[in-house]
Amino acid sequence: MKKLIRKQLLKKYAVTALLSVLGLLYLYVGDVIFGYGMNNISNLTSYLFFTISEKLLGVILFIILLGPDLLHWITGHQPGRDAER
């Protein structure tokens, strides 16, 4: 069961990484097409997490996103899904 769970988690994060790369590529290509240049995205990133509270919230949400998957990766099992049947 551990191998199956880990395989599913690897697939999940591989697809997430692929979609992230495609999204960034879309942004960069759009900026180049419309004449903003390659540095436009790096200029905009300074406005993403401006205050310390936004940075803290970003870290907390990232931990909440990865926490359950790390737990399932370590233990090798997921909670029961009997209620769905």
Each residue's pLDDT tens digit, 59-77? 999 999 888 888 888 887 7
Residue 85 lies in a domain: no
Range of the domain at 39: 2-79
Q: How many residues comprise the chain?
A: 85
Chain segment 24-60, per-residue pLDDT in tens: 999 999 999 999 888 888 888 778 888 899 989 999 9
**pTM reported for the whole predicted model:** 0.69
Three-class HEC string of the chain:
CHHHHHHHHHHHHHHHHHHHHHHHHHHHHHHHHCCCCCCHHHHHHCCCCCCHHHHHHHHHHHHHHHHHHHHHHHHCCCCCCHHHC
- Structurally, how many domains does the chain consist of? 1
Residue 84 lies in a domain: no
Residue 41 lies in a domain: yes
Residue 68 lies in a domain: yes
